Amino acid sequence: MNIYVSNLSFNVTDDDLEGFFAEYGEVSSARVITDKFTGKSRGFGFVEMANDEAARKAIAELDGGRVEGREIKVAEARPREERSGNGGGGEKRSFSRNNSYNNRY
């Protein structure tokens, strides 16, 4: 089962996240999501556990718990929604360098 963990302290590491769940059963992976430019934590992560029953128990007991003064939220991860290819919805915009403004100068 894949588990979503949010409201994490920015100091929490992958190893810390794994440790929170390891006492409930085998952790296949644990990853704190980081900003691709700064490398800093984005405050959430994902944990994958091999046993669904152990994962449900971990979710029930860890949701609402406090880590470094922050109340974490723990839930079963939902499948990622498909995104549109234009980065934000709405109509796709195109930009051209050959517009009348540029031609005047």
Q: What domains, with CATH codes, occur in the chain? A: 2-38+47-76 (3.30.70.330)
Confidence of residue 81 (pLDDT cuts 50, 70, 90): confident
Helix (H, G, I), strand (E, B) or coil at 64: coil
Answer for the pair 58, 5: CB distance below 8 angstroms, yes or no. Answer: no
**Which residue's structure tokens are 């109509």?**
91
Answer for the pair 48, 31: CB distance below 8 angstroms, yes or no. Answer: no
Judged against a pLDDT cut of 80, whether residue 14 lies above it is answered with yes
How many residues does this entry show for the chain?
A: 105
Of 26 and 94, the one with more pLDDT:
26
Tell me whether residue 9 is exposed, middle or buried, using C-beta atoms within 10 angstroms of its C-beta: 0 to 12, 13 to 18, 19 or more: middle
Alpha-carbon gap, residue 7 to 84, rounded angstroms = 27
